[in-house]
Amino acid sequence: MNPFSFEVCPKVNIFLKIVGYEQGYHLLVSRLILVKNSFKDYIHVKRARVLSIKGNFDCAMLNNTIFKALQALKFHLECKGGVQAALLQLLGGLEIEVEKNIPAQAGFGGGSADAGVFLRELNTHLNLGLSLEELYKIGSRVGSDVNFFISGLASAHVSHFGEVVKPFEDTPLELELLAPQIACETQAVYRAFSQTQPISFDLDTLKHTHSKTLLQTHSRFALNDLLQPALKIIHPLRELEERLAPHWFFSGSGSGFFAPKEGRA
């Protein structure tokens, strides 16, 4: 295997609506778009004697999404059968160096982005021949947003726990990202959701309206059901939100915001 490198872009949620609850998790429908004109992670991969993942991470390696993606990939290949021992040995001896620029706990994809693009690039560079559906099966074991990044799509609707991905033909949209140094723990925000009253919505209208129009016609509270619960439990975020102009929108479970570069029409 020759060394290879690739870049990882963040995502934002144009809208995120909670539509149910199943198996202890909230069900959602959301539109994700890739943001290519902002900060990015850069990942470099080469052979090594033992597995190592280097980078400015805020977690142990066992909890690292790239490590989880690699283990899920190896498990899938072993279950599939017919895999050469040399390949499994290779996967256990990689040096992966990550230049982290996408902030953690900011609603921009972070670890899920790294894991998803890593799986896609491994499939290509190692000629694994895995189908998109196989990659999605692997990605769903790692995290809810991973499959969006596996897809390589610029815009898509995700549903269920976030692992079901459907392409959406959107109009081009340039965004500016704001990443405050405020941590939003995803599980805590979702727990707080049950104590808030989300704004009613027409899901069909949301799914068929281009992102640029949604940002022109809806408030940040109307588009993201997790903004209210995040503000309820994270006081520094509430202080920031109160200072932001209306054309700034909340991404995922936060704490990041985004805005159209041309501002709100």
Q: Is 202 exposed, middle or buried (0-12, 13-18, 19+ CB in 10 A)?
A: exposed
145 is catalytic: yes
Catalytic residue among 11, 17, 68, 100: 11
Amino acid at 48: A
C-alpha span between 229 and 243 (Å, rounded):
18
User: Residue 205 burial by CB count (10 A; 0-12/13-18/19+): exposed, middle or buried?
Assistant: exposed
One-letter identity of residue 171 = T
Supply 246's token pair.
């209306």
- How far apart CA 218 and CA 42 sit, in angstroms, is 34
**Dist CA 227 CA 92 (whole Å):** 40
Catalytic residue among 17, 100, 114, 145: 145
**Could you give the C-alpha distances from 88 to 84, 85, 93, 168, in angstroms and in order?**
7, 5, 9, 36
41 is catalytic: no
Q: Where are the alpha helices (DSSP H) in 165-251?
A: 186-193, 203-208, 211-217, 220-223, 227-233, 235-243
Known catalytic residues are 11, 145
